[in-house]
Amino acid sequence: MASHRKSRTPGTRVAGIRTPALATAALTSVALLSQTAEAAPGEDRPSLEEVEKKVGDLYRQAESATEKYNAAKEKTGKQRKRVDTLLDDVAKRTQKLNEARSELGSYAAAQYRTGAGMPDTATFLLAETPQDIFDQRQVLDRMTGRQKAAVDDYVTQQTETMKKRQEATESLRTLTETQGDLKTAKATVQKKLADARELLSKLTAEEKARLAAIEKRKQEEAARKAAELARQQAEQEQAREEAAQQGGGASEGSGSTGSTGSTETPPADSSYGTKAEKAMAFARAQIGKPYVWGATGPGSYDCSGLTQAAWKAAGVSLPRTTYDQVNAGTTVPVSQAQPGDLVFFYDDVTHVGIYIGNGMMIHAPKPGTYVREESIYYDGDSAIHSVVRPA
């Protein structure tokens, strides 16, 4: 998915709205960042930080729409398979119904040849619904056992065929709806990304340099926090080892700080570690491949597509979207994150990365970027939603 509030290259976060030509390049740059082109000269303009946030918000909205697109695409695929299965079933049942109708027709023809008047079995061939047939009780009473058996088979085939046709019709309706959701989500993603590109295209060289400086400061702060988390985790591991040596059975979460939540989560076992190594090895092999929204590999990925593919390489099946992946395991405190765990971001759970230790993760950030290693604090502490151990 996308990193929402960070611009990884100069000039990746801006606002740009058409404005009247101004006297100097500096004033032109400011005007391009303005929300209203007609604002009076001298009116306060948004800072680059505010512009960066606006573009970041567009990426966030695109991410949210991407996850909705992923969910709709998955649902559409499943619904299409169901429709195909039902239509195949209808075709088979229709064939059986025709065979049952043919058998009834043979009885009707025999009655006609013997001059029995209105053929009893022909009455059922004229019936339009199973209920019509059941209403012909007086006719049924005059039938032989074989005739009744033929009618029973015909009624059964007709009833089941009608039922399956109704199910197929309903499934087709649902498929149409999910295809509509898919189309809407796709259009939303494309619109948000187009808006972001439009804003970015308005940056001047000076603004790009200033945004690059802002980004550098954020990266430095994220690296500092990652190092602090690594220190905390090292202290926890040391405390566990000392407790094991002393045979004291100390809490597995010892050494955690007040911000890390419960201290009762056990460390990952050796089986998990083996799977996690496979997942991380796969993720590392994808570094440098482009982020493409809705992509699941092998040439490109979005965030949840990468985590799904990485854990699949370890023999673990994860759901497609971040919304479902966040529930596909055990939630652990950030301070107790182990390599291989999934780190989710934002209140709407629209981004995910694979934790690799020392406060770092591998993730597919956003359009225009590539799969890479980055601090889990790339967008600040508050951006982290939760950490989940998937196996």
Residue numbers annotated as active site: 303, 351, 363
Read off φ and ψ for residue 342, nearest 5 degrees.
-100, 130
How many angstroms separate the CA atoms of 256 and 233, rounded?
A: 8
How many angstroms separate the CA atoms of 198 and 101, rounded?
A: 66
Q: Give the 3-state secondary structure of residue 388.
A: strand
In the 8-state DSSP scheme, what is residue 275? H
Report the residue count for the chain: 391
Q: Longest C-alpha distance within the chain, in Å?
A: 106
The dihedral region occupied by 135, where left means phi > 0, alpha psi between -120 and 50, and beta the remainder, is alpha
Contacts of 156 (CB under 8 A, 6+ apart): 100
Produce one character per residue of 85-110: b if its CB has 16 or more CB atoms within 10 Å, e if not. Answer: ebeebbeebeebbeebbebbbebbee
Produce one character per residue of 240-271: b if its CB has 16 or more CB atoms within 10 Å, e if not. Answer: beeeeeeeeeebbbebbeeebbeeebeebeee
Going by C-alpha positions, the residue among 155, 162, 96 that lies closest to residue 123 is 155
Here the tokens at position 285 are 């092999």
Contacts of 328 (CB under 8 A, 6+ apart): 318, 319, 388, 390
Going by C-alpha positions, the residue among 223, 224, 253 that lies closest to residue 240 is 253
* Alpha carbon distances (Å) from 42 to 31, 45, 316: 11, 8, 59
How many angstroms separate the CA atoms of 384 and 376, rounded?
A: 8
